[in-house]
């Protein structure tokens, strides 16, 4: 299974989000390897998206979002969990896809239903912020083809974002047991 290349990420964010479903997220750490199948994601559509961290312009935290596609944007939330995004679209568009849930494949002990648990189970934290997903530590690979239906729903936890909160930018694999908040 090949690693996804730069051009995969350098596309329309909703397309990347949908196509990430079913792919494999791999964290090859020191001596241990963790992997899971991506089953739930959310799209964040650039600076005009009021729910996006990039909506108030470039800041210290969201810097990776403004960089080239194919990089990881990892941030701390509520003082105790990390969330991982993959940066999409050409540099400067400040768009990304949040990885919300995985189906465990390899080396995973904890739960993976939800962005915070996903990062904990995959041992993903601030150290991996800005990491290139075309490198050898953290990356996403193609998967064996499988048929599934994709469900679209409003994103979780962004009620403050007005009209943007209503848009169906959360995507998940229909019927999958590892999807959060079904």
Write out the residues near DNA by the rule CB under 7 A.
42, 44, 51-54, 56-57, 59-62, 65, 73, 75-81, 83, 85, 96, 98, 111, 113-118, 155-158, 160, 180
To DNA, the closest distance from the beta carbon of 144 in angstroms equals 26
C-beta of 146 vs 157, nearer to DNA = 157
Identify the three-state secondary structure at position 6: helix
Would you give the DSSP letter of residue 46?
S
Residues 6 or more apart whose Cβ sits within 8 Å of residue 71:
64, 86, 87, 130, 131, 132, 133
Would you give the DSSP letter of residue 149?
P
C-beta of 142 vs 181, nearer to DNA = 181
To DNA, the closest distance from the beta carbon of 97 in angstroms equals 8
DSSP 51-120: TSGGGG---TTTGGGGS-TTBEEEEEETTTEEEEEEEESSTTS-EEEEEEEEEEEES--S--BSHHHHHH
C-beta of 35 vs 54, nearer to DNA = 54
To DNA, the closest distance from the beta carbon of 44 in angstroms equals 4
| Cα gap 166→142, rounded to integer Å | 31
To DNA, the closest distance from the beta carbon of 43 in angstroms equals 9
| Cα gap 53→70, rounded to integer Å | 17
C-beta of 8 vs 66, nearer to DNA = 66
C-beta of 73 vs 172, nearer to DNA = 73
To DNA, the closest distance from the beta carbon of 2 in angstroms equals 26
């Amino acid at each position: 299974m090949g690693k996804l290349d730069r051009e995969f990420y350098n596309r329309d964010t909703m397309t990347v989000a949908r196509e990430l479903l079913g792919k494999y997220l791999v964290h090859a750490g020191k001596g241990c390897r963790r992997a899971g199948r991506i089953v739930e994601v959310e799209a964040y559509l650039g600076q005009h998206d009021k729910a996006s961290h990039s909506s108030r312009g470039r800041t210290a935290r969201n810097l990776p979002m403004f960089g080239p596609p194919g990089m990881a944007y990892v941030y701390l939330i509520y003082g105790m969990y990390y969330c991982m995004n993959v940066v999409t679209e050409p540099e400067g568009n400040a768009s990304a896809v949040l990885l919300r849930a995985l189906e465990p494949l390899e080396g995973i002990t904890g739960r993976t239903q939800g962005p915070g648990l996903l990062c904990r189970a995959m041992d993903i934290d601030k150290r991996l912020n800005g990491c290139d997903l075309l490198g050898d530590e953290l990356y996403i690979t193609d998967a064996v083809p499988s048929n599934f239906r994709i469900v679209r729903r409003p994103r979780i936890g962004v009620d403050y974002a007005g009209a943007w909160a209503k848009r169906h930018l959360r995507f998940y694999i229909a019927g999958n047991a590892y999807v959060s908040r079904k």
